[in-house]
Structure 1
Amino acid sequence: MAGSGRPIDARGWLFEVEDADAGTETWLTIGGTTSFTHNPGENEETADTTAFDSDGQYEQDVMQRGATLEIQAQYRVDKATGVQDPGQAYVDHAWAQRLGVDSRNRVRWRHKSQTAWVVWDATVTPGEQGGGTNDKTSWSCTVTRCGPASAMAVAG
């Protein structure tokens, strides 16, 4: 039946960062997410291959693929302890402080209706935080994929 598919809710997307310092595979949910933008064409580079025999039509080859994931959230803390959300805190205080070969970390993301995670080896750029008189404090980061994406089955 044509057109029988249904759109999925944006609030069903899950984002996690791997705690590379944990000793065992540990994934931390990035809490408070309010929106995200996946840009599968970011950092793409092309080479112009147009020549006289292209008969006036543009031609190119893709030389590099890339992608980014921007996550927007509300800055979250535990009400009782005041401790920042574990996923946000890991991004802010562990991952975003690393340089050189240490600057890479794994992230994974999926919609709750999917049976596999998209997994990236990536770098992170912390985003702005702020808010006005009647706002909640914002939090954000941009994750840039390094190398190809992989997949991981959802456990349990």
Structure 2
Amino acid sequence: MAGTTRPIDARGWIVEVEDAAAEGTWLPVAGLTTITHNPGENEETADTTSFDSEGFYEQDVMQRGATLSLEGQYRVDKTTKAQDAGQAYIGEWAQRLGMDSRNLVRWRHESQTQWVVWDATVTPGEQGGATNEKTSWSATITRCGAPTTEAVAGG
């Protein structure tokens, strides 16, 4: 039956970071305007082309990777002037090095009943804006290892 499937709204994506100091406490990232999942980022391949390939290229995938790029508006509480907790946590996380540079992140669309969970690192993005603009905020999250999933609580 034609027309029974519909595209989902991009504004329905939800991203949360786990507060490493309070295991099980997830902080939503507010102010997002763009989310881009790149499931092929950091992929590595090995060329397996040989004379037996009869002139056609062949390869094996040796490494899988993925990134989640987040862009949005720098958000603060009107009363306290504190930055959004999720954004602020990512900013602090982006300063960690070595073993401490990893953190859990989870994301899903509001229509989904499973979170995608990554052990990941983060790279801070640019912030700025012009005279009649709001200040931008961005970060790129890079998956480390295989993704996992978890059910949405109450869902």
Class of the TM-score when normalised by the shorter of the 2 chains:
over 0.9
Equivalent residue for 2:82? 83
Equivalent residue for 2:49? 50
* Counterpart Cα distance in 1 of 2:132 and 2:18: 33
| Other structure's SS at 1:135 match | coil
| Other structure's SS at 2:145 match | coil
**Could you tell me the TM-score, scaled by structure 2's length?**
0.97
**Could you tell me the TM-score, scaled by structure 1's length?**
0.97
Task: Note if 1:18 corresponds to 2:18.
Answer: yes
Equivalent residue for 2:140? 142
Q: Which runs of 4+ in 1 moved over 3 A?
A: none
Q: 1:110 aligns with which of 108, 113, 120?
A: 108
* Counterpart Cα distance in 2 of 1:38 and 1:16: 15
Equivalent residue for 1:97? 95
* Counterpart Cα distance in 1 of 2:39 and 2:13: 16
Equivalent residue for 2:35? 36
Extract unaligned runs of 5+ from structure 2. Answer: none
RMSD value, Cα: 0.8
Extract unaligned runs of 5+ from structure 1. Answer: none
* Counterpart Cα distance in 2 of 1:43 and 1:122: 13
| Other structure's SS at 2:123 match | strand
Paired residue total: 154
The percentage of counterpart residues that share the same residue type is: 74
* Counterpart Cα distance in 1 of 2:122 and 2:136: 17
